[in-house]
Amino acid sequence: MDETIRTVLAEHGKLAVDVNSIDEHTDLFASGMTSHASVNVMLALEDAFDIEFSESMLKKSTFESIASIRAGVLEMTSS
């Protein structure tokens, strides 16, 4: 799962650093991801995992780190 998340971030996150060089708890917004890029990341994650993030999850904190993205994807795939 983390590999897929990192691939999505590499393709859509527009990070200022190599996604493979960051820790799972690194703040992605501090690493260069914009709010516009986070929307693209969200859409790509929905496609990659065949999920739809609930409205309550559409907030900055859901997409601020690899760990928080993983938690969100796990929540959506277990429901």
CATH number at 17 reads: 1.10.1200.10
pLDDT in tens, 29-54: 999 999 999 999 999 999 999 999 99
Domain around 40: 2-77
Number of domains in the chain: 1
CB 33 within 8 A of CB 52: no
Quote the pTM value: 0.94
Confidence of residue 79 (pLDDT cuts 50, 70, 90): low
